[in-house]
Structure formats: structure tokens, C-alpha cells
Amino acid sequence: MLKKVLNTLVSLLVIFGLFATVTPAFASSNGGREVKGNITALDTAASTVTIKPTKGATLVTLKVSATTFIKRNGKKVALAGLQVGDQVEVSYNSSTKVARKIEAKLYLRELSGVIKTIDTTLGEVTVTKSIPAVDVVLKVNETTKYRRAGGAATLTDLQVGDKVEVKYNPITMLASNINAKIYMSELKGILKSVDTVAGTVTVTQFVTNLDVTVSTDALTKVYRNHLLVTLADLLVGDKIEAKYLPATMVASSIEAETYSLEVKGTILSTDLTANTLSITENLTATVVTVNVDATTVIKRNDLVVTLADLVVGDRVEAKYDPTTLLASKIEAE
């Protein structure tokens, strides 16, 4: 019995050994290989397709015969139906370099950034990526589709400074879709100066304390205290919020309002000759001197009074322009 079992095992090992030797021989004679990557070149006259493998830098050029089965985006096509840049999976004969099966699909990369330059003559749009900050030159042609600010557009509708999202062919760098929107920077600070001749305003930013000058044009909307005005109506010291194109520094809107600081404390002194009021601040004991003119509203114990009616030692609250130190309102008790 034991001898019979051993004979059976030996027979099985011999059979498995035969399969082990047959299988590699079959693979070798079959000569099948696969490559995955992107099409870099098509030659319909020579019936060849060149592929840049996903792994590896060496290009693979294969022949296409009448028996080659080709599909693109799920549909059967001819060699001419493929496109440079397509992502492909190809099985081919390693000896003859003839493709047996090609499965392709449209492959587009996505890019987000800001338009740096537009060349309508060359048909090129340069986009600066945010991270990392590099310039990418894209080609456009009659097949490129555009949208800007939510509507259909053309290449001439795009503007330097627009924020864009682009889909493009990474091999040919041809953009298939460009979706642009107006990209505005915001500026917040105190109005330092106005030049009505040059049409510019200079604003000292709150956070950085740096001066930024923006231009205006016929389309710029200017408001002060929520009323539509002109540049000439803006006052130095106004609080400013402006939206502008960073590429051109032209403001689309400027909103200004009277900007006041507030001081609370006690009256230290009044000067009827200089028309000033000095206040000792409650928290810091700092003395703040503000100017008073005919526009200043002065109240004491809820009654409208003049500067002469204020008394040293009165508790006081005053709102004033930090640039001119002119008080807009003084309330004492």
C-alpha cells in the first residue's frame, strides 16, 4: 500500500514538472508584452504609434496591422481615431512589435492659477500656478472652449490677472477648456492721498502699514458713506476698502467711509483760542488732544453746548479723525 502511494506521488511530481517546463515555453513562443503610458506620436502613413511608458523613459514604437483591435473611450476606432496625449494600455508581440490590442482614453491634466500673459497671435496663454509658483505655457486653437464669469467667452475675452481652471493635453500642451473668473485683490486701510488728475488713490494698509496705490478708470465705482461719489469727494483719513486687478492695479470699486478713533477719559483742558480739547485717557492715562470746528457736535449732559461750556474734570467720550485729529462728536457729563 505504501509503495503504491509513493508511486502515485512520483507520478504527480513528474506531471507537475512537465507543466512547469511547458508553461515558460508557451510564454516565450507567444511573445506577449504590455505597455501603459501616453501616446507621443502617431504615423498613419507608416501605421505606427509611439508611447511614452508610465514607468520608464524609453519610448516604445509599435506597428499597427489590420488585425490590431483599437478602442478609444469605449468605442472601436481606426488608428487615425487616436490622439497624441491619449492614455493607453497596449498588448503587443515583443518579437514583431505589432500591437494586438490598444485601449485608449482621452487624458487631460488640470491646472489652476492666474493668467500672466495672452498672445492671440501665437495662440498661447501663460498661467502662473499657485503651488508651486511656476509659469505654464498653454496652446489654444479653434477647438479650445472658453468660459469667463460664468458665461461663454472667446480668447479675446480673457484678461491678464483672471483666475483660471484649465484642462489640457500634457503632451501637446493644448488646452481643451479654460474657465476664467475675474480675480480681485482686496485692499483695506486709511486713505493717504488722492490724485484726481492721475486718477489714483494711495491707501496705507491696516495690517502691513505699507502704502498701496491703485488706479481708477471709467468703470470704477466710488462710494463714500454708501453714496455714489467721485474721487474728489474722498477725504484723506477715510477708511477704504478697494477691490482691484492685481495685474493692472485698476480698481473695480472703492468704498470709503468716515473713519474715527474713539477716546474715553476726563477733560484735562480746553483751549478756546486754538479750538482744542485735551483728554486724559482712562486706561493708559495718555493725553489726547483733538481739534474742534463748526462741524463738531458737542453735548454736555445730553444738551448741545459749545467748547466753552465744557468743564475740566468732566467725563468725556470723543470720536475723531486719526489723520486730522478733528473731532466729529464730543459727549461730556
In this structure, are residues 279 and 316 in contact, taking their beta carbons and an 8 Å threshold?
yes
Whole-model pTM?
A: 0.54
What is the CATH topology of the domain spanning 261-332? Answer: OB fold (Dihydrolipoamide Acetyltransferase, E2P) (2.40.50)
Residue 232, amino acid: A
CA pair distance 313, 333, nearest whole angstrom: 9
Equal fold, 31-105 vs 261-332: yes
Q: Taking 50 as the threshold, does the pLDDT of residue 21 lie above it?
A: no
Q: Mean pLDDT lowest for which of 8-12, 134-138, 143-147, 158-162? A: 8-12
CB neighbour list of residue 43: distance below 8 Å, 6 or more residues apart: 49, 50
Q: Taking 50 as the threshold, does the pLDDT of residue 216 lie above it?
A: yes
What is the CATH topology of the domain spanning 109-181? Answer: OB fold (Dihydrolipoamide Acetyltransferase, E2P) (2.40.50)
The residue ranges of every structural domain in the chain are: 31-105, 109-181, 185-257, 261-332
Overall CATH class of domain 185-257? mainly beta
Burial class (CB in 10 A: 0-12, 13-18, 19+), 125: buried
- Provide the percentage of residues in the chain whose pLDDT is more than 90: 78
Write down the residue that cell numbers 470709503 correspond to: 256
Whether the CA torsion 221, 225, 227, 229 is positive or negative: it is: negative
pLDDT of residue 191: 94
**Coil, strand, or helix at residue 197?**
coil
Residue-wise pLDDT for 254-268, tens only, equals 999 988 889 999 999
Chain-centroid distance of CA 241 in Å reads 21
Chain-centroid distance of CA 207 in Å reads 22
Q: Can you identify the CATH homologous superfamily of domain 31-105?
A: Copper binding periplasmic protein CusF (2.40.50.320)
